[in-house]
């Protein structure tokens, strides 16, 4: 389910020099068996039961071109197996398979129904495959009622069988989300299935082959959006992949070694989920060596910027330091700009944009910080609705009469709807401390030695 896309490197005559990647990755082959367990108790209205059947048909249609099998069981205080994996394999006509499904009515024995599926559907005699990923989806409108079993009786059995479990519905306590007994696809509002609030397409996306794990969905590179940001570095093209690994993100470095290097914080660090690392990136140079500073503007809703260094021994890219945003929703790290103040080829400071930072008088904020050192200054011009720092272009820098000049773009979100680019000047000493003028690398070293932690 990879979405095909390319980035192109062009020369000044707009002639193509390189296509990235050279070839598209092949979609991996996955084998999946999905058991659908639906609540047919008396608390489900007849119209909602019909909608549920339509919902199931649409889900099964999503997987027609994949190696996925379905089985269906309905439950109340009774249990009825409508078709197993073998029957589904013989007939892929979803409407025909669902045509004879009639509502059972009665009370709600969800835990017992889960055990029935584990013991009677996920068997080789019913067509379940040993090599397949096993998934159970429970669709119900509420808590179990008069069930002789508790979830603690049924869930460990499903766990031992390696069955990944999801629930669709509302008021399902004590069925818990990820890390607990079951996982949510979405929690409905209270009440009887009001027009199936979760769409079949969202279920198909969530359950796409290769995205399941025992603790819930785990997208890897399927939604990576490689090329969301781009950068030309001395090591080669760098492409941001904000959607990689549950949108924790990262960057791809296309060096000369053939296979690209994927640089991220950790593929298993759950606090990076939805951080959008790779939204922006800049190369940092020091003594001919390149490092990368990468923005994650949605990290913990406040944003983060991470500095990556390459290990000289193993060649692995690891995070060296980071700077955290101050305000929720500010999009700290949404824009970055590396600055070489004296033109010696070494990066001296980094500008970090937080275009959605908001105060009663200002909109947007730009931070500047020395490499590996805390933020030294914040710039926020007047303009309540200005998204100051929404772009940090790499324009020529100057240092005259004790000031450093820079260009920062902002967007004014007022009635007139105009935007613009502004040249900002700030005193050298705000970056370099009490130095009479800027331009000498020794002064940066002296300042670091004096004020560094």
Residues 55-82 have a mean pLDDT of 91
The residue ranking higher by pLDDT, 65 or 389, is 65
Look up the CATH number of the domain holding residue 104.
3.40.50.410
Write the DSSP assignment of 13-36 as a string of letters: T--EEEEESSSPPPPPP-EEEEEE
In a domain, 21, yes or no: no
Lowest-pLDDT range, 11-25, 63-77, 121-135, 407-421?
407-421
- The model's confidence at residue 218, banded by pLDDT at 50, 70 and 90, is low
| Cα–Cα distance for residue pair 144/280, rounded to 1 Å | 48
Q: Which domain holds residue 82?
A: 31-217
In a domain, 280, yes or no: no
pLDDT at 190 over 90: no
Task: List Cβ neighbours of 445 (8 Å cut-off, separation of 6 or more).
Answer: none
Query: In which residue are the tokens 């990820």 written?
Result: 178
In a domain, 397, yes or no: no
pLDDT at 435 over 60: no
pLDDT at 204 over 80: no
Domain count of the chain?
1
Lowest-pLDDT range, 32-41, 75-84, 263-272, 297-306?
263-272
pLDDT at 15 over 80: yes
In a domain, 343, yes or no: no
pLDDT in tens, 363-415: 788 888 776 545 545 555 555 555 655 666 555 444 444 444 454 555 444 43
Q: What is the pTM of this model?
A: 0.58
Residues 148-176 have a mean pLDDT of 76
pLDDT at 275 over 60: yes
Detail the DSSP E strand segments found in 274-316.
280-286, 289-296, 304-310
In a domain, 374, yes or no: no
pLDDT in tens, 112-122: 999 999 999 99
In a domain, 200, yes or no: yes
- The model's confidence at residue 341, banded by pLDDT at 50, 70 and 90, is confident
């Amino acid at each position: 389910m990879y979405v095909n896309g390319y980035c192109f490197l062009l020369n000044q005559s707009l002639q193509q020099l390189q296509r990235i990647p050279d070839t598209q990755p092949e979609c991996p082959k996955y084998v999946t068996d999905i058991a659908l367990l639906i609540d047919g108790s008396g608390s489900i209205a007849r119209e909602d039961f019909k909608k549920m059947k339509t919902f199931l048909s649409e889900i099964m249609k999503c997987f027609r071109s994949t190696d996925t099998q379905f089985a269906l069981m309905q439950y109340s205080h009774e249990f009825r197996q409508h078709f197993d994996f073998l029957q589904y394999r013989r007939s892929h006509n979803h409407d025909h398979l669902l045509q004879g499904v009639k509502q059972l009515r009665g009370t709600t024995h969800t835990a017992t129904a889960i055990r029935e599926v584990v013991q009677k559907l996920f068997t080789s005699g019913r067509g379940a495959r040993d090599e397949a990923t096993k998934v159970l989806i429970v669709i119900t409108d509420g808590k179990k009622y008069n069930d002789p079993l508790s979830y603690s009786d049924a869930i460990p059995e499903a766990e031992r069988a390696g069955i990944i479990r999801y629930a669709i519905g509302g008021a399902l306590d004590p069925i818990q989300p990820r890390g607990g007994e079951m996982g949510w696809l979405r929690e409905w509002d209270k009440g009887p299935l009001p027009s199936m609030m979760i769409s079949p397409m969202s279920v198909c996306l969530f359950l796409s082959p290769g995205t399941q794990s025992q603790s819930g969905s785990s997208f890897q590179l399927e939604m990576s959006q490689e090329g969301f940001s781009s950068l030309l570095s001395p090591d080669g093209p760098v492409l941001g992949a904000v959607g990689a690994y549950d949108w924790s993100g990262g960057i791809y470095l296309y060096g000369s070694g053939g296979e690209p290097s994927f640089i991220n914080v950790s593929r298993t660090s759950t606090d990076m989920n939805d951080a959008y690392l790779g939204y922006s990136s800049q190369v940092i140079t020091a003594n001919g060596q390149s490092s990368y500073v990468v923005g994650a503007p949605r990290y913990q809703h406040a944003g983060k910027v991470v500095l990556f260094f390459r290990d000289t021994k193993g060649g692995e890219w690891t995070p060296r330091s980071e700077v955290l945003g101050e305000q929720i929703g500010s999009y700290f790290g949404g824009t970055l700009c590396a600055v070489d103040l004296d033109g010696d080829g070494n990066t001296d400071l980094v500008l970090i944009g937080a275009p959605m930072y908001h105060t009663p008088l200002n909109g947007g904020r730009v931070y500047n910080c020395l490499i590996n050192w805390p933020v030294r200054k914040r710039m926020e011009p007047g303009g309540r609705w200005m998204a100051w720092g929404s772009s940090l272009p790499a324009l020529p820098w100057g240092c005259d009469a004790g000031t450093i000049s820079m260009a920062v773009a902002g967007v004014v979100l007022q009635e007139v709807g105009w935007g613009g680019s502004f040249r900002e000047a700030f005193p050298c000493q705000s970056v370099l401390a009490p130095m009479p003028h800027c331009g000498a690398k020794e002064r940066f070293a002296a300042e670091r030695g004096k004020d560094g932690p």
